[in-house]
Structures are given as C-alpha cells and as structure tokens.
Amino acid sequence: MNVAVVKTGGGRAVSDLFASAEGRLPGSPGVAAVRREAFETYERLGLPHRRIEEWKYTDLRALVGEVLPLAVSPDAAAMKRAAEAVKTHAIAGARKLVLVDGVFAADLSDVKALASEVSLMTLRETLDKDAGLLKTESTDAVIALNAAMATDGVVLSIADGAHLSAPIQVIHVATASSASSFSRSQLVVGKGVRATIVESFIAAGAKAYQVNDAVIVTVGDGADLAHIRLMDDAPDAVNVTSHFVTVGANVKLNFFNMTTGAAVSRLQGFIRLAGEGSELSANGVNLLQKTEHGDTTLVVDHAVPNCVSRETFRAVIDDRAHSVFQGRIIVRPDAQKTDGKMMTRALLLSDEAEADNKPELEIFADDVSCGHGATAGALDESLLFYLKARGLPEKQAQALLIQAFVGEAIEQIADDQLREHVIGIAERWLERRS
Amino acid sequence: MPAVQETVERVKRIDVDQYRYGFETLIDTEKAPKGLSEEIVKFISQKKNEPAWMLQWRLEAYRRWLTMTEPTWARVDYPKIDFQDLYYYAAPKPKKTVNSLDEIDPEILKTYEKLGIPLREVAMLEGVEPKVGEDDPSRRKIAVDAVFDSVSVATTFKAELKKAGVIFMPISEAIREHPELVQKYLGSVVPTSDNFYATLNSAVFSDGSFVYVPPGVRCPMELSTYFRINERNTGQFERTLIIADKGSYVSYLEGCTAPQRDENQLHAAVVELVALDDAEIKYSTVQNWYPGNSEGKGGIYNFVTKRGDCRGHHSKISWTQVETGSAITWKYPSCILRGDNSRGEFYSIAISNGFQQVDSGTKMIHLGKNTSSRIISKGIAAGKSQNTYRGLVTAHRKATGARNFTACDSLLIGDKCGAHTVPYIEAKNSSATFEHEATTSKISEDVLFYCVQRGLSQEEAVGLVVNGFVKDVLQQLPMEFAVEAQKLISISLEGSVG
C-alpha cells in the first residue's frame, strides 16, 4: 500500500489517510486512543494480500492498491441525489435508516416510524461515551482499519419479545466519488424477537468509491431473525464488509447475501453458534460480470452442541469476472450432534470467467454430521438444447437456466416479500446481460 | 454418527503402541559428520562416486536452500528442527561393492526378513497366496530395491528386468550408468527450487530408486522399494525417479518403517514421475514410519514432495497411499496433467492415532485439453491426532474439457482428535466440470441405486463404490501389512463426517 507517512505532534508516524481524517472522526479522547492503536495495527499489516491465507483469492493489494481518503460531508445536492436513490431502492413498507457516505442521515430516515420496542442510537452518539463498539477480537487488517476510521453507523436494539411487523432497512448510499466511507453498526436482538433486517448498498451518482462496513449482531435466545444484505454498489466501487454474529439458544437465523455490484467486493461473515438448539441458514448469490471480483467468505463456528447450519451458495460468472467462495464450518470439541452442511456451486458463462471455491471443514467432535459439496461448470448443454428445441432463443434459454440455478439459494429466504424482491434483482441482472 | 464398534477395534489394532516394526538392527555404520555444509554435500557426492555435474547440481540446491525458510502453512505443530543436529549420511559397513546377496551383512538380511521383505528372488511374497488356477507364477513376482538408511543394499531381479529393457537400480548407480536419462529428467518435475524440503533433498539425497521403462514395454513385474531408517539422529533423504516412456506401463510400490526411538527423525523424500505419451504409472505407498509412542514422544517427521508429470497425451498417473505412520506427515502427491487427454488419480487412506498429525492430500493441475482427475481420500482420526485433507484442483485457461471428481470423507473416533478438510477448487475455464463432495450419500447416486436395487445395503453399496478400485492395488502390496490395510479400508462408512 502506498500511503505517505507524516510525522505528527506526538512524534509517531501515521499515514496521511489517518492524519487527514483524525480531526473529523467522532469520539472522546479515549476513543481517539483506541482508533490510533487500531490504525497502527492496520499500518503494521497493510492491506491483505494473497499470502495471507484468508485473503488468498482476494488480494486487496493487487485489486485495490490503496485506501482512498475519507469522504467529506455531503452537500445539499448530494443529499438530494441520495434521497432520490433511496426512494428507488426502498422496500415497500420497510422502516428506512439511511447512511450517506457512512454518516447517519436522520432526514432521510424513518426514525419516528420505528416500532416502540426498537431503540436507535448512532455510533457517533455511543462513541461520546466509550469505544466499546470499536473493539472486536479480529486481527484482520480491514477490520482494524474500520475501527480506526468508522465515522458512524446505526446502533439498534430490539426489546425482548418484540414481533416487528415491518422490516427495518438500513440503506448505505454513496454520493462522494473517489473517497472512502467507513461505517460500523450494531444490532442487538432481544429474546424471542421476530424481526427482519435488510441492508442495502447503493450509489447516488458516486464513482470509484470505497466502502468498509462492519456489523456486530447479537441474537437473543428464541429469536427468529431474517437478515438480508443486498450489495449493489457502483460497478467501479469497492465494498469490504465484515459481519460478527453471535447466536443464542433456540434461534432461527436466516441470512442471505446478494452481490450484484462493485468492481471488488468481499463479505466476510463470522457466525458463532453459542447457544444450543439453534438453526442457521446462511445463503448467498454472486452475480458477476465484466471484470468484477466478488468474494463471499463465511465462517460458521459451532461452539455448542445440537445446532444445525445450512449454507447454500451460488455464483454466476460472466465475461472476465472472478467469484470466490470460502466457507468454513468449525465444530468445537464439545459441539456434539452438530449438523452442518454447505453447498457451493459456480456457473461459468464465459471462457475467461474464474471461480475459486474453498469449502473447509474443521472438526473436533466425533458425533457430528457435516458435509460440503462444491461444483464448478458451464450451463448444461443438453438442458439448453431442450429449451432451444422448444423455440426459446439462446439468451432466453440461458436466462431461464440461470434463474433456476440461483433460485436454489434465493428460495432459502423465508420472507415472501423479500424473496420476490431478490428474485426481481436477479431478473434485472439477467436482463442487463442480454 | 459415532463410529461403529467394529471400526473402533480395527483402528485400535494399529494404534501407535502396537507398532510392530520398532526393532533396531545393530550393525556398524559409517556416518558423515553431524550437520550440513557444502563439505557434507561434497562428502555425500564423493561417497557416491558422482560425476561433477551431479555435485554442481547438489551445491546449487544447497545454496538455494540456505535462502529458504521452512513452510508453516500446514496444520501441523512441532518444535523447530535443528538442521545442524542431524546426520545426513549413514551407511552400513563395510562399504564395498556387493555382488551377491551372500555378501550383505546378515543382520540386514535378517531385518528385511523380519519386515517380510524378500531380498532373495522368491516368486512369492510372504503372506501372499497364489491364486487358485494361476498358471503363471511369474506374474506375481516383485522386484525389490532395499534402501537401508542412506544406501541401497540390494536390488532383486535386476537381470530379468534388464531382459525386458527395464532399468531398475539405485539412483546412485543410475547417475553413474545412465547419466543421459538422469540429467534429462532429474528435477524436471520437482525443480531444485521447488520447496524447502525438496531443495534440502536435492542437496543431500543419498539414494533411492531409478526406473526407466522403454517405449511400448509393460514392466513384467511389480517394482518396489523398501525404505528402512535404522540409525539414530539420521535424516533419510531418498530420491525416486520413474520414467515411463511412450506406451509403457509400470506399477511401483513403496514401503517404509523405522525403529522405535524417543527422538524425532526427519525423512524428506522427493519422488518424480514422468509419463510420456500413452504411458501409465501406478505408484503405491504404504507409509508406516514409527509414529511416536502413546505420549507423542518420538516418531518420524515425514516431509515429502511427490509429483507426477503426465507429460504426454493419453498418459496416466495414479497415486495410492495408505498412511498409518509418522509423527507428522506433510505430503501431497500431485499430478500435472500437461498432455491432452491425460488422467490423474489419487486414492488415499490416512489413519492417525496417538499424537500423530497428518496434513496430506493432492494437487491436480489441469493444463491440457480433456484432462481428467479423480480424488478419493479417506481420513480416519483417533486418539489425540489431527488429520487434515488439503487438496487443490485447478483448471487453467486452456484446459478445455477438464474434469475432476473429488470425494473426501473423514471419520473421528473419540472426542480428542480432529478431522479437517481444506479443498481449493479453482476453475478458470468454463468447460471445466468440477465436482467435490464430502458426503457419502452423494457418491454417484446411480451406482448406489444400482447396488441397493440388487440387494446390497446402502452401507455395503457405498463401501463397494469407494473401495472397489483401491482393493486390487492393496492386494499387490509387498507386505504383510497389506492385509491389515485392506481390513482398514473396508471400514464401515457409518459415522463419516465429510
């Protein structure tokens, strides 16, 4: 990474990136010290590269090169663009919470319409008190960078027993070109809660920007949570997102990630099943074209006995795009009776497309049933022939088969409305293609 | 599902404290001074009467090695090896040319007898019953090259093989007698700069086997090498080079054992296979190095680089391994599928017990058109062992029509051990078809259905599918252990964790 190093008053060297942003970063003096430490960690490690096993297939040094300077606050015109973009991407009936270039925008959000059981703060507000939310156990460089630079985020807490009738949609809008935004959010889901959270990443006229997001989720016992992430950033953007999820007992967690945008993207999810009797369904689809690089990395950690995890992942890769799926199921020594399955399939539509799969199992308990499967290949010629023989043009026949292919992952979304919404996104992607 | 009782018992029978080959042979040996330096490399080369080019090759590797660092990516954990605290050369005395078996130290002969390896040219191996109605007993002949510490002590059936045109001799002899072949192929599959242990091996290898099968020849008998580490504090660095020329076929077996000792010993071998047009090499290993005792003390560190190059079109290389020994195994027999329509196979059974750590698997590198590969790996972890499958399947841009099928299953016995699967699947070509699965229920549904329909239980059917192809290889293994190994692979798949 080529960052200029400058000397600061304290005599310690910090790079331009941090030095130029530091004054604008929210938080008490204590928070500033935590940020500085995190940035030093990041500087020591630099951007992840292929020699770091977890980043083997997504070499950020080669793909991204450098981290762009922190975005400046959006002006009125930018906010107007953001409002327009939010309107087109809002899910009907959802309560919107909008972050513009990584900063919470109350004017564009439905703060008042939130259910009474939902309490909302911004990261900015919590950082006035302490730096707790900037801390994670991770040693990953991009997460350290996020802790150093996080400007804002939503801190949501859903009270025990709440059944939310409307989904909450957190929309990340980018308005600033050639700039970075860093957000960090928290979601605390109480016991027995039923809720749906959607996160959307969109652009409002911004080009060549970078997003580094982190989300910390805690799911209380007996909760039923649907968590959908729709990443549709600008085609020349970079999006690196990290999720840390801790799941309590008897939880049903239905997670889905859709990647349709960004030149370079990575979602790394670390899901820890920490309570018995929980069921995790973590799924995703990467729809990639041109020279896009999309990476979905999911680490599912069975820390206790009697949990079930299912992962279904599909990648459709066109042109010279590159899809990466890394899935790891860890079964800790005590996690007997674990039932974990992971299936990843890649569909290569072009001779220059690339699919890299690394489905891992790390098992320390003997009475478990775990498995994984991975396939890569082209569209089935005989199926195509069948459809063409019945009069469908080539592209349409392909589209039908691709739809069926990604459908296997999309149908895992439990919520009807959201499933339809995601199917719509896939259809529009296919239309763009033909 | 937990492992069924029968499986538990079978694995227990080969637990580390049941190691049967742990005896020591007391003989005089000649050793190079401890440690590694250019002088030691020169000493080894001199001992072997090597030509100047060979010494140069070794020295280049040695200098390269000095600039390299030990790999740490494998899931194995061991104290740092002091490479200066090892003997790099040890040979039984007296070191004179042996013309007949009678001149070999009787202690060594006794050692091989105890191990069940016939150094006399007998037609049958111990424990191998002739098949009923088999009219040609020569079909079961096995030529053996016996490597004791750093040198080859005997090679059998040399004359008979020569008649067929097959060259089978210690590599040290081949360097002197067939320099043109050795120069052409040595290091062409595993270059001296390949990795830390392969480079070390290139500098100090002392012996190993050399096989050349001329065009169109089907090697008239099984070839095998039996490696025995005997000396204390000695590293064994053998080098094997097998060349199957156009349209030829050879089947090669390798076995390894070592005495029971408290200190760890290093074994860093390199095996290179070259298959030219239409040639086929079948390479089988029964690796039974001393695994350490039940407290994890002692045992062999087995850091091996094995690679086959399907250089010609329609060539085929097949690796079969039964891994039960070694404290640490770091081994990835690979196939470079360079020739169009070439085929690579890897069948592995890795069983770990005690404190053993296994990190093993394969690499199938598809470069040519219409290449295919198949990986079947079964790992069984018991005791406090860790058993990792690590495999790479990759299809390059020009490898149109590449196909791979991978199935790796693991079984855990007890809750103190770990089984891990780390597959890397890289498709850079849309016409490549890769299938990777780690659940028993998915092994060719059609075949299973066929078997079940004919009255086999699901489990029997799966067993049949997975084991069918390894069985005939195992039956040929030149050791009594083959019987044991055979039992092991018929282990019930119930309780498989994928």
Residue in A341, A345, A363, A398 to test binding to B, most B beta-carbons within 10 Å: A363
Query: In whole angstroms, what is the distance from residue B179 CA to residue A240 CA?
Result: 56
Which chain A residue has its CA at the smallest distance from B422's CA? A360
Q: Which residues on chain A are in Cβ contact (under 8 Å) with B421?
A: 359-361, 372
Q: Which residues on chain B are in Cβ contact (under 8 Å) with A361?
A: 410, 419-421, 438, 497-498
Residue in A297, A336, A361 to test binding to B, most B beta-carbons within 10 Å: A361
Contact A361 B442 (CB under 8 A): no
Q: What's the longest Cα–Cα distance across chain A?
A: 74
Distant-in-sequence, close-in-space partners of A240: CB < 8 Å, separation ≥ 6: A60, A142, A210, A211, A212, A213, A265, A266, A268
Q: Which residues on chain B are in Cβ contact (under 8 Å) with A352?
A: 397
Task: Tell me the average pLDDT across A415-422.
Answer: 94
pLDDT of residue A10: 40
DSSP state of A109: S
Q: Would you state the structure tokens that stand for residue B160, as one six-digit string?
A: 């008979």
Selecting from B1, B415, B425 the residue whose C-beta is nearest the C-beta of A374 gives: B425
DSSP assignment of A51-67 equals TSGGGTT--HHHHT-SP
Distance from CA of B409 to the nearest CA of A (A): 9
Chain B stretch 371-410, residues whose beta carbon is closer than 8 A to a beta carbon of chain A = 397, 410
Report CA Rg, chain B.
Answer: 22
Q: From B64, B78, B74, select the one nearest B196 (Cα to Cα).
A: B64
Decide: helix, strand or coil at residue A325.
strand
pLDDT, tens digit, 9 for 90 and up, residues A127-157? 988 888 998 888 899 999 999 999 999 999 9
Contact A373 B437 (CB under 8 A): yes
pLDDT of residue A5: 46
CB count in 10 Å sphere of residue A328: 21
Query: In whole angstroms, what is the distance from residue B90 CA to residue A180 CA?
Result: 63
Q: Are A210 and A172 in contact (CB under 8 A)?
A: no
The CA-atom distances, in angstroms, between B184 and each of A33, B211, B412 are 63, 14, 45
Q: Which residues on chain A are in Cβ contact (under 8 Å) with B417?
A: 364, 366
Distance from CA of A305 to the nearest CA of B (A): 13
Q: B496 forms bridges with which residues in the sheet?
A: B411
Q: A104 forms bridges with which residues in the sheet?
A: A99
pLDDT of residue A434: 62
The residue type at A282: A
Distance from CA of A174 to the nearest CA of B (A): 33
pLDDT of residue B158: 79
Task: Tell me the average pLDDT across A203-230.
Answer: 97
Contact A355 B442 (CB under 8 A): no
Residue A384 reports pLDDT greater than 90: yes
CB count in 10 Å sphere of residue A119: 12
Q: From A392, A412, A394, A411, select the one nearest A403 (Cα to Cα).
A: A411
The H or E element that residue A299 is part of is strand A293-302
For tokens 């043009």, what's the residue?
A: A393
Distance from CA of A329 to the nearest CA of B (A): 10
Contact A373 B410 (CB under 8 A): no
Selecting from B422, B428, B434 the residue whose C-beta is nearest the C-beta of A377 gives: B434
Distance from CA of A147 to the nearest CA of B (A): 28
Crossing angle (nearest 10°) for helices B52-66 and B196-204: 150
Q: Are B309 and B189 in contact (CB under 8 A)?
A: yes
Decide: helix, strand or coil at residue A133.
helix
Which chain B residue has its CA at the smallest distance from A52's CA? B73
pLDDT of residue B472: 43
pLDDT along chain B (498 residues), means of 10: 58 63 73 86 89 93 92 86 86 59 70 68 44 45 73 75 89 91 94 92 89 93 80 83 96 78 84 96 84 81 94 94 85 95 90 87 95 88 87 93 88 80 91 76 61 81 56 48 53 36
pLDDT of residue B491: 42
pLDDT of residue B18: 63
Which chain B residue has its CA at the smallest distance from A360's CA? B422
Query: In whole angstroms, what is the distance from residue A104 CA to residue B225 CA?
Result: 71
Q: Tell how strand A118-122 and strand A154-158 pair up.
A: antiparallel
pLDDT of residue B11: 61
Check CB contact of B98 with chain A, cutoff 8 Å: no
Distant-in-sequence, close-in-space partners of B200: CB < 8 Å, separation ≥ 6: B61, B65, B83, B237, B268
Residue B13 sits at φ, ψ, to 5 deg, of -60, -25
- Choose between A116 and B150: higher pLDDT: A116
Q: Would you state the structure tokens that stand for residue B316, as one six-digit string?
A: 């085929």
What does pLDDT average to over chain A? 93
Cis peptide before B94 (omega within 30 of 0): yes
pLDDT of residue B74: 86
Contact A359 B2 (CB under 8 A): no
Percent of chain A with pLDDT over 90: 85
Q: Which residues on chain B are in Cβ contact (under 8 Å) with A355?
A: 425-427
Q: Which residues on chain A are in Cβ contact (under 8 Å) with B416?
A: 333
Distant-in-sequence, close-in-space partners of B430: CB < 8 Å, separation ≥ 6: A348, A349, A350, A351, A353, A377, A378
Contact A363 B412 (CB under 8 A): yes
Selecting from A358, A363, A373 the residue whose C-beta is nearest the C-beta of B497 gives: A363
Contact A359 B397 (CB under 8 A): no
Q: A340 forms bridges with which residues in the sheet?
A: A309, A370
Q: A119 forms bridges with which residues in the sheet?
A: A157
Check CB contact of B430 with chain A, cutoff 8 Å: yes
Distance from CA of A243 to the nearest CA of B (A): 23
Distance from CA of A375 to the nearest CA of B (A): 4
Report CA Rg, chain A.
Answer: 21
